[in-house]
Amino acid sequence: MKKILAHILLACASVVYAATADGEEIADIVTDDGYRLSAPVAEMIGNYKRTLAPDLPEPDGWDELDSPCSAAPGRMRIMKHIVVDKPHTRLYVMNMFGDTLSRYRVCASKERGQKTGKDDWRTPEGSFKVYGIYNSTDWTYKDTQDKCYGPFFIALWTPPFYGIGIHGTNAPYSVPGRRSHGCMRMHNEDIVRVKQMVDKDTRITVLPDPVAE
């Protein structure tokens, strides 16, 4: 996916030249959407090794972010990093430079603090990998018939605990808040958008709750 993106990025570009202080001519590449890349950076993107993305469901039709935040001019929107702020029940999608691309409300765990047990109703804190993105439309909670997970479930690798992820909800009134069993809930329209910005290389960082005095 990233290699394809790189080829598209470079194919839809033009070359501009600028002079350094000593008169040497250097080339920059400017993409059609206004991003200006130095020649070494453009070469790095073009040579990016092939990576295998997780199996994703069919495209859902969302084309753009609905957010007041955007990358600074000239920043590349690649190498996404997601930060979940448990204390303030917010999720931020950031690029490799730390620019906030979008932000969303979330519902985190009912109990505060680091997860220490299987059923302690806490969200793990730390930095985690994504190991799968699943269509969870028909998923039900344990032995009930309640469809609780919304359209998508972004599963996180959080050993020794399993089953933790970011997902939608059938209880939109719970977002934002602290009511979950350990996962991070989002409004269904928001998880659809975040799902499109996640791949196997995306890091998910969950910020810790304040230490009780």
DSSP per-residue letters across 149-176: S-SEEEEEEBTTB-S-EEE--S-GGG-S
Cis amide leading into 176 (omega within 30) = yes
Reduced to 3 states (helix: H, G, I; strand: E, B; else coil), residue 24 is coil
CB 104 within 8 A of CB 119: no
Domains defined along the chain, listed by start: 2-46 (no CATH), 81-207 (2.40.440.10)
Sign of CA dihedral 129, 68, 59, 142: positive
Angstrom distance (rounded) from CA 159 to CA 131: 12
Angstrom distance (rounded) from CA 180 to CA 78: 31
Phi-psi group of 190: left, alpha or beta (phi > 0 → left; psi -120 to 50 → alpha; rest → beta):
alpha
In tens digits, the chain (213 residues) has pLDDT values of 333 334 334 444 444 444 444 454 444 455 444 545 455 545 544 443 333 444 444 433 333 333 444 445 555 455 678 999 999 999 999 887 788 889 999 999 988 988 888 888 899 999 998 988 988 888 887 666 777 889 999 999 888 888 899 999 988 999 999 989 889 999 999 999 999 888 877 899 999 988 764
CB 46 within 8 A of CB 10: yes
